[in-house]
Amino acid sequence: MRIENAPTLTIEHPGSGTGQSVVARGVWQVHALTKRGALKSVNQTLASLKGSNATWDLSEVASIDHIGAQMFWNAWGKRRPQHLTLDPRQEELFARIEKASSIALPRTRTSPMQGVIRLGGAVLTFFEHLKGFITLIGQVIQDAGRFIRHPLTGPWREVSANIYHSGFQALGITALVGFLIGVVLSYLSAQQLRMFGGDIYLVNILGMSVIRELGPMLAAILVAGRSGSSITAQLGVMRVTEELDAMLVMGISHGYRLILPKVLALALAMPLLVVWTDAMALIGGMVSAKVELGLSARYFLQKLPSAVPVVNYWIGLGKGVAFGMLIALVSCHFGLRIKPNTESLGRGTTTSVVTAITVVILADAVFAIVFSGVGF
């Protein structure tokens, strides 16, 4: 059944070379091309004519839009054929397509030193972040001095709110992770100690590893992922909504009202979270030791003070203070550098968490080197 005004191609005087004459008729618009498989048959015909030196006659086409014209243009190899007859109304349409095809896209040059260029860019970016981080530390020290001189006008509410969000609300997840880590560490250590008859040394291994290393590290990593991301996202959203600019217009310091409270809050909350995480990990270790080795909780608690010198406890608390301040500074640093768009917000938050965890691990390595001869 023939469709009225359907797009058709008629090959007249079939032959080879210049002997072919192609006449187009009908409506070459998208609504007509998509009816009853017309597009498939037209494409097959055009594909068979691609590259041929035929004479094209489009003067009998009733109407044509950009889609139909582009189909002819692709079949012609993106250039006008030598023998072409157009209706005057079609000239403007094909002229626009011809002009668009002549636009040359810029070529991306690949330098043989591309790797060195990227490395140099990464180094420059690192030093740029380092400079901004040091500047932020200096600003926090100045704001802390102002806070000490004028404590009555200090950001007490902001500090209290941040302690609640970063400290109290993190008790649940730190307790769960600490308990499970204590169970796993005690269980694996007990299996190895049983082989050598050293069951009584489980308290030494568990106490030293948890109080000196695992407790502060677990608390710091969890806070970096939970509270660090929250701090960065909060500052980033304030940048997107232009609240930071509004604060500057009102004469409110970002450092005194936003950054300093977060640094002080984490410096105060992190040691308490370290003690909490240590306690939960040791309780988990005691439960596992009771099940695996039959060691009573009473023996465990009596043996712990002599197995772990008290200086390790203070080292763990010192790590908590340092880790908390580093997490807050890194999170604020990336939060203030977020640009006013959602893509930058997501990327900045991810980078902040990864950097905070990396900085915490590096700081823990520094603590291990500095206090290598203390507490053993």
What is the domain partition of the chain in residue ranges?
8-101, 117-370
The per-residue pLDDT for 268 is 93
Q: For residues 156 and 142, give the distance between their C-alpha atoms in angstroms, rounded to a whole number.
A: 17
**Predicted pLDDT at 51:** 67
The CA-CA-CA angle for residues 204, 205, 209, to 5°, reads: 115
Structure tokens at 212: 């000196």
Helices 66-75 and 88-101: angle between axes, nearest 10 degrees? 60
368-375, long-range: CB < 8 A, 24+ apart: 368/213, 371/315, 374/311, 374/315, 375/212, 375/309, 375/311, 375/312, 375/315
Residue ranges, the chain, pLDDT below 50:
1-3, 16-17
Query: Which CATH architecture fits 8-101?
Result: 2-Layer Sandwich (3.30)
pLDDT at 72: 79
103 torsion bin: left (phi>0), alpha (psi -120 to 50), beta (else)? beta
Closest CA to 68 of 101, 25, 11: 25
Closest Cα to residue 327, out of 355, 356, 353, 351? 356
* Interatomic CA distance for residues 198 and 220, integer angstroms: 32
Could you tell me the two tokens for 308?
A: 């772990």
pLDDT score recorded for residue 71: 81
Q: Reduced to 3 states, what is the DSSP secondary structure of residue 237?
A: helix
Q: Which residues contact 91 (CB under 8 A, 6 or more apart)?
A: none
pLDDT of residue 18: 52
Q: pTM here?
A: 0.69
- Are 43 and 16 a contacting pair, CB within 8 Å? no
What residues form DSSP beta bridges with 11? 22
Query: Given this model, what pLDDT does residue 104 score?
Result: 63
The two structure tokens encoding residue 195: 């082989």
